[in-house]
Structure 1
């Protein structure tokens, strides 16, 4: 119930019938801009009945979220990589992590095919497009609906779903799909049909013969920055042997849970890389440090000639994230 005569937005909490005698509350008023969330929170005192204790718990959780959001915003404003990303038109500060990895290990070349797993919001894909121009192609895969950066092809879906992986393999099977074509231009009035046909034939010669299309060993670089953003309800497959989707919700703050979830996602990306990555291709994946990352590193060493572990300068000091870089598939 809203009182229009009040300058401060308020709402009243109603009980059906009379309120329990043991229910005692103190009132906390939230500024009107949060009125759609809760303009009045009921905080039970020590003598609350069990039936009403949940209301106070909910109110404290909302206040903690407001506080956490404020801290995050303040940290973002002070962060130099966040500011620089905005200046350069990058989707997020994460672009600098991949830029620093590429500066050190030189994973990108012009004309490469790059698959970016967990691409949203698209900062890694932006870097991949810029570093593989003019004839490269980048395919982003993510369950989050996001506007892809210019020059990026995308597939929306849960990568852990075998059907989505089949779509990705089908996409990369065609070596010309998603690859930019040079524009045809007439230079002057003397440009005749013979020259035009000659140019068309030269352009078609650069394309791969469809008979040679094969999803196996057709990708030059696989990037994985995956993390699960929310629980799925309908529309996507989410089951697997270890149910990794439900084990990771971005970062929970629980080190073991975040580490275990990231290991599952890295293993899924690595298994996919074994199927599509060409000889000499490269692999980059984000993970959260923990007891299992040594085993993952050993698996990478079996597949790649060189394996490096790196925490880029743009990663926050307090973050447990790190990156494996597998160079030159055997």
Structure 2
């Protein structure tokens, strides 16, 4: 009869495949000592080592409260809770705003922005990675460090008709565009004469029955100043209310080439290299590109949120932000993992006066 040790070695050789047969048979033929073990082939060792990091990631995600909650709420990723926490504290969004989301993939920040700017808001996402955009988000794929891509984004946001939700046409007469009626117009037509009279009465009737005092000269001046500021912003192409930057320099795809889903590249490409200085330097380049975009497109009073990896150059970036914005805060949201080096600059209420030379001077 075969000894228990020899039987175990034969069983292992069958289970692990033909690649181990020769090694195990040689070991049995040479009557190796009981303490010795058959060595797995090098290819199997490499495959086991490469899968250990993904196993750790899956295990961590399974224990992560925010990852579970994001899945329950239908959010693209747990990063949505970072923006929700920042918005809860600093009140970034209002209905009808124009928001640009730099590095939007997979789209959780854009989901938050669409929800908080409804109705009539518009959200434009830019990313180098192809990803399925959330509903209500317009996207441009390209490297934001490219001047050509930045020019395309500026041209897109400066057209007020692009990226906004369109009103659905419910009635059309003979296919003529002039005679199409939207849902809002249909509701207005369906209101009866009594409803219109009641609304007029509740609103105060005509001009004579309103009894409102004429605005003071000071209020008139304030209105003129506000209008002139808005016009100045518009003339200079400043039409964006909030700029979000969650960009990280992506590293080369390492696996999953056989998968063809449009959202898979985001999960197959690394966002950090594991080298702190390299990640910090890459994030500073992206933050400076986002700040330059803010200077060109962000309207007076607008807000800017920027992710960065902590390092030696963050102080210089903070000084530039303080020249352009009234308030600058550093945030480390609760949903950001404690071991991560990421943090966020939250810059509030853009100033109108500073020139480009004053903001970007060293």
Output the CA distance in 1 between the equivalents of 2:16 and 2:100. Answer: 50
Alignment of 1:225-240 (within 5 A): 225-231=246-252
1:302 partnered with 2:341: no
Partner of residue 134, structure 1: 119
1:292 partnered with 2:310: no
Relative to 1, partners in 2 of residues 1:189 and 1:132: Cα closer, same or farther, differing over 3 Å?
A: closer
Partner of residue 242, structure 1: none
Output the CA distance in 1 between the equivalents of 2:350 and 2:277. Answer: 30
Of 80, 101, 117, the residue aligned with 2:102 is 117
Output the CA distance in 2 between the equivalents of 1:165 and 1:10. Answer: 54
What do you get for the CA RMSD once the two structures are aligned? 2.7
In the alignment, is the contact (CA less than 8 A) between 2:120 and 2:164 conserved in 1? yes
Deviations, residues 64-107 of structure 1 (Å, cap 9, x unaligned): 32111111101100100000000100000000000000000001
Output the CA distance in 1 between the equivalents of 2:312 and 2:55. Answer: 33
Deviations, residues 186-211 of structure 1 (Å, cap 9, x unaligned): 3499689xxxxxxxxxxxxxxxxxxx
Partner of residue 51, structure 2: 66
1:170 partnered with 2:155: yes
1:312 partnered with 2:297: no
**Which consecutive residues of structure 2, in runs of 5 or more, have no partner in the other structure?**
1-12, 21-37, 169-181, 193-232, 254-268, 352-362
Secondary structure of 1:301 counterpart = helix
Task: Specify the structure having the higher radius of gyration (Cα).
Answer: 2
Partner of residue 273, structure 1: 294
Secondary structure of 2:349 counterpart = strand
Output the CA distance in 2 between the equivalents of 1:188 and 1:318. Answer: 56
Q: Which structure exhibits the higher relative contact order, with contacts defined as CA atoms closer than 8 Å and separated by 6 or more residues?
A: 2
Segment drifting more, 181-190 vs 308-317: 181-190
Partner of residue 203, structure 1: none
In the alignment, is the contact (CA less than 8 A) between 1:169 and 1:215 conserved in 2? no
1:216 partnered with 2:237: yes
Q: Which has the higher helix share?
A: 2
Partner of residue 100, structure 1: 85
Q: Calculate the TM-score normalised by the size of structure 1.
A: 0.71
* Equivalences, count: 253
Secondary structure of 2:347 counterpart = strand
Secondary structure of 2:150 counterpart = helix
Relative to 1, partners in 2 of residues 1:290 and 1:176: Cα closer, same or farther, differing over 3 Å?
A: same
Of 117, 132, 143, the residue aligned with 2:128 is 143
Relative to 1, partners in 2 of residues 1:278 and 1:75: Cα closer, same or farther, differing over 3 Å?
A: same
Secondary structure of 1:253 counterpart = coil
Relative to 1, partners in 2 of residues 1:321 and 1:11: Cα closer, same or farther, differing over 3 Å?
A: farther
In the alignment, is the contact (CA less than 8 A) between 2:101 and 2:244 conserved in 1? yes
Output the CA distance in 2 between the equivalents of 1:271 and 1:189. Answer: 48
Cα distance, 1:11 vs structure 2: 6.4
